[in-house]
Structure 1
């Protein structure tokens, strides 16, 4: 069973589902005192010939009076399918050892190597409490627990917000700390160790000894500290604007234990398969701007995010939604999102035989140069008693790019940067 081949997938899906569900984040969203508000959703995410995810979200919020607000969320998702290993395609069939070391699989000639052991179930629980403490001040604190087959995440968060200018201006400071424990099936690979293949050994014992020599004993962990500074400003009766600065410092095990690199000769023929290695720290900065503008029969929502880190990845995200009122009880909301990022300084689509091994290297396309876009539409129906039923359908495409690496020999004929295409469908119900 493989879990962390795409560690961001489950988290990203949950965040996307909850934000589009409109799960409450502040006192203004909590509804009337003494009434519980529930948000539910079922989300499907399916990549073409790759990962498929089905996720259920249940959220509950209650204002106990005087803006003393509790919100909780339960997320359950299941992921299955195949994910790219980082190895390059070849004009002949290739054999790979499964991450557990038990068994192997074969990839056909000319095909992108995909590991079909990507599957797991994740359960996530969040709880948050918000309340005023002094005049014009609010505090909030929360807990997060997420458990997967070989991954445990625990997090704490807290924030302080201050209103100014008759509550037309709000400044906030938020901190969170997360501890993650990683214990991948088969163990953590030794950096740049060669993948052993059963066919190269005369006995099961000899193969097992070779496989064990490529693994580190025990689990590992990582720690993440996030800081967010925010400013929200009411511009006029139709316009509100938000600015955020975020800092994230991560230390610990950041290597993906299920990713590898192909080591090729001058003809582009694979000579060896090596497990990747990434730095054990990462510092990220991001700057976020969002504006909402209310028209007579529509609400425009546009945002931009710039992110940069000490891995040399820089990204730009432009996101826009326009919510049209069709009638007193129905609306549609088109959605367009564009994303672009540069490659990490240690990203390499392959390694060359005869050249010294670098300190760090990864062929994971997710940290390579890429562009991506999302287009979709949401249709909502407002029901009696503040209830709402909504349907969302979107198309997502991610296009990895060559960051200037010249492919040798036969690799010039291979598709080293295949696109990832996905369909996202969601049904949500608020009551």
Structure 2
């Protein structure tokens, strides 16, 4: 599984995002969230600067490992305005799924750069073990409170990794009324991403050139270059969020929002391929994937949050849908119990399910009288676009140390199971594990001072 290529895709990467890249995330959160993403305008906030640091480990079984560090500085200019500055660094390495299917015989694939190849043993999942990347992200969010119950927020962010650069701006306007028991908000964000893949961008559904198929290195290099259409490309994202929060009584509040996102530009993962198989299920060649260059996404979110005698509980539901026909439902709950004034424990439960995108194919078939056997414009075997379900179970413990200091640690278990979307599995593939279960552990240590 690759965690970095398609920003915004629903997958395990969501669990890694300790530092959200846009203000729009705040409209879908709740008071007391675990993460470091959201401005804290409460009376407890330090008058000058408050620092918050976190270190997180994320590890998939036999796949990707991530180590991430976050530093957040919160400053107040006066009682009505402030600035949050956030620095994130993470390192990812391990084996990443390519999209090719497992076979009863060994397989040889070309590295994305064209410089080298890798072998996959019979019966093994097709993983590229050269996955290694570093990411640095910096963001700043400014807010201003006005006397007439209005709040204005604005922010900028930028992130850089080896083959991906992301820049963005965001802003929000919020108004409280009904004796501050009701709040309405409008948020906008714009992002510009630049993708510069190793080895260049593959032509959509082009056949992967492999050295074994050519008599000389020169012939191979010519075939490899012929499968490319250039270097870097761009993607633009425009997000809109309408939110509403209502205090129901002294213990309960209800929050809801509607989100709309328009994405234009290069959205193909240049490192993903599909297996082209015959009627016996034997791979004949590998094709680079192809995705549409336009996507419209919408979301609905509801959250109910309540204050208990010695704790807090929340329950949320999110529904997302887009014109790629990928729909998803997320149910999530947090229950925090205060064992004492300075010590609390929190239970986290999350269930997620999504349908497959209209062009998702776990593999492609040769067809009678047709070579290479696939005439559609788009196809992808990326499991992040396939039918799947996942759940997360986690616990968090926190110690309030006085003078605004807090130490917390979190441990979670994540499991994801892909499912066949009805694709016929010919020959030997009917007995192979094409949708393996993915397991991951997440551990985080945070300190506020």
TM-score range, shorter chain: over 0.9
Kindly provide the CA deviation profile for residues 133-169 of structure 1, in whole angstroms up to 9, marking residues without a partner as x: 4611111100010000011000000110011011111
Q: Is the 8 A contact 1:10 1:77 kept in 2?
A: no
Partner of 2:28: none
- 1:277–1:212 distance in 2 versus 1, CA, 3 Å: same
Partner of 1:383: 401
Q: Is the 8 A contact 2:159 2:166 kept in 1?
A: yes
> Quick one: distance in 1 between partners of 2:401 and 2:407?
7
Partner of 2:370: none
Residue 156 (structure 1) aligned with residue 169 (structure 2): yes
> Quick one: distance in 2 between partners of 1:43 and 1:26?
21
Kindly provide the CA deviation profile for residues 390-413 of structure 1, in whole angstroms up to 9, marking residues without a partner as x: 110000000001111121100001
Q: CA RMSD in A?
A: 1.7
How far residue 3 of structure 1 moved from its aligned partner, in angstroms, is 8.2
Give the gaps of 5 or more residues in structure 2. 21-32, 368-372
One of 79, 82, 93 as aligned partner of 2:92: 79
- 1:30–1:53 distance in 2 versus 1, CA, 3 Å: farther
> Quick one: distance in 1 between partners of 2:434 and 2:107?
15
Counterpart mapping for 1:1-150 below 5 A: 4-5=4-5, 7=7, 12-16=14-18, 20-28=34-42, 31-33=45-47, 35-133=48-146, 135-150=148-163
> Quick one: distance in 2 between partners of 1:403 and 1:61?
46
- 1:6–1:245 distance in 2 versus 1, CA, 3 Å: closer
How far residue 205 of structure 1 moved from its aligned partner, in angstroms, is 1.5
SS of structure 1 residue aligned to 2:430: helix
Q: Given the two structures, how large is their TM-score scaled by the length of structure 1? A: 0.96
- Name the stretch that deviates more: 115-124 or 7-16: 7-16
Partner of 2:219: 206
How far residue 206 of structure 1 moved from its aligned partner, in angstroms, is 1.4
Residue 322 (structure 1) aligned with residue 335 (structure 2): yes
> Quick one: distance in 1 between partners of 2:71 and 2:119?
40
Q: Is the 8 A contact 2:3 2:13 kept in 1?
A: no
Q: Is the 8 A contact 1:6 1:83 kept in 2?
A: no
Q: Is the 8 A contact 1:337 1:375 kept in 2?
A: yes
> Quick one: distance in 1 between partners of 2:141 and 2:289?
38
- 1:6–1:118 distance in 2 versus 1, CA, 3 Å: farther
- Name the stretch that deviates more: 191-200 or 88-97: 191-200
Residue 350 (structure 1) aligned with residue 363 (structure 2): yes
One of 344, 347, 350 as aligned partner of 1:334: 347
SS of structure 2 residue aligned to 1:411: helix
Give the gaps of 5 or more residues in structure 1. none
- 1:17–1:47 distance in 2 versus 1, CA, 3 Å: farther
Residue 304 (structure 1) aligned with residue 317 (structure 2): yes
> Quick one: distance in 1 between partners of 2:136 and 2:390?
28
Q: Is the 8 A contact 1:177 1:224 kept in 2?
A: yes
One of 190, 193, 206 as aligned partner of 1:177: 190
Q: Is the 8 A contact 1:348 1:361 kept in 2?
A: yes
> Quick one: distance in 1 between partners of 2:348 and 2:157?
29
> Quick one: distance in 1 between partners of 2:386 and 2:414?
18
Q: Is the 8 A contact 1:92 1:110 kept in 2?
A: yes
Q: Is the 8 A contact 1:3 1:149 kept in 2?
A: no
How many residues matched?
429
How far residue 25 of structure 1 moved from its aligned partner, in angstroms, is 2.4
One of 263, 275, 292 as aligned partner of 1:279: 292
How far residue 200 of structure 1 moved from its aligned partner, in angstroms, is 1.7
SS of structure 1 residue aligned to 2:222: helix
